[in-house]
Amino acid sequence: MADPGLSVTKPPDTSQIPQLRPRELFWRDIQSWLQEQGYMLRSRYRPDWKPSYTLDDNAYEFEDGLPIVNDAVLDATRIATDELVFEGLYFMHQCHVAHRDYFLEVYRGLEFIQPLVNEMVQDDPAKRPDMEEVVKRFTEIYQNLPKSVLRSRLAGQREANDPFTFIGRHVKYYVHTLIHILLRRNPMPTPS
């Protein structure tokens, strides 16, 4: 018979928490290689990841609860300097993978980055900035953006064709954003 004065805390059940999405598996699979190259992805993409939240939590309040929006670009930390970088583009350039401005064709609200992208996709590779220059310029652009731009929602180019979807997503987004503003959360979370 158990002692009625003794309470036992049961560990939280994480078995029903959603796991990585199929498009996130690429990043999990190359995390070890990236670490060897001097980069660390968020804990969510490490091979031994276990969620730091439970079903009772709002996963979006946890750094490892945020899934990627676009599987071609992912933030990472450069281990040597502990600085945030956007690993997708860097990785693609290091591996000489060609890319165009697809992301800018799909979403509205990224006009601030268009001049840099235009330089990066010039037909003559000799006229393109190297990756170090791109990272430097992107950092300057990012640091000078107002919070309203950093908090703005990426809206799909096709959303204008469906006003109900457009309005519904905007209302949901503004409620979500207002909560973050009231809680004084940084518009661009940084990995811990």
pLDDT in tens, the chain (192 residues): 445 555 555 555 555 556 778 878 888 888 888 888 888 888 888 888 888 777 777 777 777 777 777 666 777 888 888 877 765 555 556 655 545 556 677 777 888 888 988 888 787 878 888 878 888 998 899 889 888 888 787 777 777 677 777 777 778 877 887 888 888 887 766 655
DSSP H helices in 2-130? 25-36, 87-94, 102-106, 114-120
Same domain, 153 and 122: no
Same domain, 158 and 84: no
| CA proximity to 27, closest of 15, 14, 11, 44 | 44
**pLDDT value, residue 165:** 73
**Structure-block tokens of residue 138:** 């992107």
As a whole number of angstroms, the distance between CA 178 and CA 128 comes to: 39
Same domain, 132 and 62: no
**Alpha carbon of 22 to those of 15, 25, 108: distances in Å?**
18, 6, 25
Number of folded domains that form the chain:
3
Q: Based on the number of CB atoms within 10 Å of its own CB, is 17 exposed (0-12), middle (13-18) or buried (19 or more)?
A: middle
> Whole domain around residue 189: which residue ranges?
147-192
State the virtual CA torsion across 132, 136, 138, 142 in degrees, nearest 10. Answer: 150
Same domain, 156 and 134: no
Specify if 1 maps to a domain: no
